[in-house]
Amino acid sequence: MMRKYLIWITTIFMLASFMLVSCSLPEVTPPAAGETAPVVSTPSEQTVPLPAQVITATPAQTRLIKASEVGRLEISQRVAVSNIQDISWSPDSNTLALVTQNTDAAQNQVFSVTLLNAKDLSTQAVYSATGNRVTSVAADGKTAAVINQDQMSFSLVDTSVKDGASRSRVTDFLIGNVTISPDMRYVAVTKAEFWEVILYDFNTLEEVRFLSGFSTAAPVFDAGFNHSPQWLVWHARATLQLQEVETGMLSNLYSHEDFVTAYTLSPDGMILASASFRSTNDASIPVVILWDTLNGTELKVLEISQPVNALQFSPDGKLLAVAAGSDLQIWDAAGGNLLTTLTGHSDFILQLAFSPDQHTIASAGQDKQLYLWQILE
């Protein structure tokens, strides 16, 4: 009991310290899902979160998150952060990288990457992309993919190094999106005006492969890596399609009745989970569909209580975390059974991320809160 009391007191103290830093960040409405973010002009004075005070705390012992114990998940850490666009973990699960989109004093948009110590949520480093757009963070938890202000070049930036040491590549087309494969072999660069993706070697930034073939009537589309190095995922409104990276072979189309609000691949690339709405008994209800990526067939349809804005499989592929409105639901991926519903957020959850060691789930939402969920010893 004394140990849990000390952990609670330490968590409250850390929250108060970090909130003094984060509350100074003005808000900006993030771009709609699937749409390209607006062009960012160079700000005259940017607002960047200052490093929080580093607090030494005795870390609590945590357990592996597995089906039989998900009911014991609780909020172990929380901190206030504005407008998180993405959450990434370092391979050792000791650091979180938060991509945020905020504004400076002149109302210009500023993208930042903040590295947090996962044990106490203290700030380790802050990188600010002045006039540029951060699109994703690599599996190493620190290399950020950045579309430069000219929109015809991109950079890979080490956000853990002061001043952000970077490597850049100039293209001859407008860039729509940049993602990095989970095995850090390729950088996928989507063309903004054509249904095409160029793969570059992660280390040399030399062009490796050209991928195309996806096409729908939708004017807005996106393509990139998503948790599996095997597949590139194409997305346009109510349609998803996978493309095998090495062969260029396209899967069957994954068609939905309504817009796809979230999607994710299992780590082994065998299952695609997609969130949308489906007509059932004369009503449109939110669902998550689990697809077999080998033959394109439906494996399970999960009926969800609230609209879904984020999905992610656990590292072992056995669990599926679902952001159902403001609730965090954990489902058995194989059986399609709801295991637990966790409450805490006061508004929609927009981002989810399992730690690589499967001891923590990070969630962030419109309530400007980042939560860490763990099973404490």
How far is 188 from 211, CA to CA, in rounded Å?
A: 10
Range of 304's domain? 2-374
**Once rounded to an integer, what is the mean pLDDT over residues 37-46?**
31
Cα separation, 226 vs 213, in Å, equals 19
Residue 331: φ, ψ to 5°: -115, 150
Q: What is the CATH number of the domain that holds 237?
A: 2.130.10.10
pLDDT digits (tens, 9 = 90+) for 125-173: 999 987 899 999 999 999 999 999 999 999 999 999 987 779 999 999 9
Rounded distance between C-alpha atoms, residue 263 and residue 276, angstroms? 9
At 19 the pLDDT is: 37
Distance CA 117, CA 280 (A): 45
Contact predicate 310/323, CB 8 Å: yes
DSSP code of residue 68: G
What's the rounded Cα separation, in Å, for the pair 346 and 342? 12
DSSP category for residue 161: S
Under a CB-based contact definition with an 8 Å cutoff, are residues 200 and 224 in contact? Answer: no
The H or E element that residue 15 is part of is helix 2-22
The predicted-structure confidence for 46-90, as pLDDT tens digits, reads as follows: 333 433 333 334 456 999 999 999 999 999 999 999 999 999 999
The whole-model pTM stands at 0.83
Look at residue 8 in the predicted model and tell me its pLDDT: 43
Give the whole-angstrom CA distance, residue 188 versus residue 287: 29
- Of 233, 319, 236, the C-alpha closest to 272 is 233
Taking 80 as the threshold, does the pLDDT of residue 31 lie above it?
A: no
pLDDT digits (tens, 9 = 90+) for 96-106: 999 999 988 88
Give the CA distances from residue 338 to residues 39, 67, 269, 319, in Å, rounded to whole numbers and listed in that order: 41, 10, 22, 10
Cβ atoms of residues 232 and 224 within 8 Å: yes
Instruction: In whole angstroms, give the CA distance from residue 168 to residue 155.
Output: 4
Label the pairing between strands 239-244 and 231-236: antiparallel
* Of 9-18, 232-241, 330-339, the least confident: 9-18
pLDDT given for residue 178 in this prediction: 98
Please, are residues 99 and 37 in contact by the beta-carbon 8 Å criterion?
no
Q: Which tokens hold the place of 89?
A: 């973990």
- pLDDT for the residue 59: 57
On the question of pLDDT at 11 being above 50, the answer is no
3-state secondary structure 97-151: EEEEEEECCCCCEEEEEEEEECCCCCEEEEEEECCCEEEEECCCCCEEEEECCCC
pLDDT exceeds cutoff 50 at 18 = no
User: Using CA atoms, how far apart are residues 361 and 352, in angstroms rounded to an integer?
Assistant: 7
Q: Please report the pLDDT score of residue 220 as a whole number.
A: 76
Confidence of residue 7 (pLDDT cuts 50, 70, 90): very low
Position 43 pLDDT exceeds 50? no
Q: Which residue has the higher pLDDT, 232 or 21?
A: 232
Across all residues in the chain, what is the average pLDDT?
A: 86
Q: pLDDT confidence of 242, banded at 50, 70, 90?
A: very high
Residues 349, 317 contacting (CB under 8 angstroms)? no
Average pLDDT, stretch 359-371?
Answer: 97
State how many domains the chain has: 1
The strand order across the sheet containing 319-324 reads 308-313, 319-324, 327-332, 337-342
| β-bridge mates for residue 222, sequence order | 235
Instruction: Please count the residues of the chain.
Output: 377
